[in-house]
Amino acid sequence: MKYRRLGGSDLNVSVISLGSWLTYSGGVEKADAIACVRKALDLGVNFIDTANVYGRGAAESLLGEALQGVERGSYLLATKVFGAMSDTDEGLSRRQIFKQIDASLARLKTDYVDLYQCHRYDEDTPLEETMQALTEVVRLGKARYIGFSEWPLDKIEAAAVLKGVARFVSSQPQYSLLWPYPQTDIFPRCADLGITQIVWSPLAQGVLTGKYSPKAPPPPRSRATSKTMGSMLPKRWLEAPVLEAVLEVKRVAEEAGVSLAQFALAWALRQKNVSSAIIGASRPEQVAENVVAADIAIAEDYFFRAEEILEPVR
């Protein structure tokens, strides 16, 4: 495993991290989910990402159970706030931030998280109120650092110039060979501000593993066939032109001597501003395969070819 510094923090995060978005909020059996967490830790993954809204607390509760007995200083834990936890609990107001951090810590069975992230930007709350509340959370020791996910560039810049508040150290955007767009403006501006990326869905929700065929129905137990997880998978990524292009990229990956999943993860990690790529796994062997991407070198020419293949179908 390799590790990279997270923005302006003193956190060194594993370049492959474990996420819990759909898999551990009900999409995977508890025993399988806990096995994935333990496998990841065994392989050197030290960064685990979740959110309060994943299963409305289910993912945090599962991680709280899975991490019992594991020395707290041996891993880094991140969660998020913003999504609706009830009909009246949502957003980034001071009241919500303080209510939700305490609820998250209780479910995670820990006194603090290493990274507390704003899951989206809250248009209904003044930015100053959000940043001051997050700063108090840090001062109280409930979070070591703060970050955001999918914030627009102008709001990132506005937060950066506020006086007397904690600074963001991380950004969490969707980023993959099928969704490369943040690299155009978000990555370079964040680099200027001392913020690095923790990218989600680097395998395009499993499409970039090559498991889906343009000429056959999705395989059993895949995300596309799951009632709980399949609804979030963009339908266009399962259309024949996209899947045919993905199979071409799979052949490029094989030429490079790696699996398509490893190739896609290595592509994301080629960016210096990317500190970690979040994987979702339903079986321990998936974790093991993906972790290999932390330690492989692939010539840029292979990446250029893959980008040319996928550009027309993005």
Residues 52, 79 contacting (CB under 8 angstroms): yes
Is 54 a residue of the active site? yes
Residue 192, SS3 per DSSP: helix
Tokens in use for 86?
Answer: 């009830």
Residue 286, SS3 per DSSP: helix
Residues 17, 23 contacting (CB under 8 angstroms): no
Q: Would you tell me how many other CB atoms lie within 10 Å of the CB of residue 116?
A: 26
Write out the E strands in the chain.
3-5, 12-14, 16-18, 47-49, 76-81, 113-118, 143-148, 168-171, 196-199, 274-279
Q: Which of 24, 54, 75, 175 is catalytic?
A: 54
Pairing outcome for strands 47-49 and 143-148: unpaired
Ramachandran region, residue 141 (left: φ > 0; alpha: ψ -120 to 50; beta: rest)? left
- Give the residue numbers annotated as catalytic, written as ranges: 54
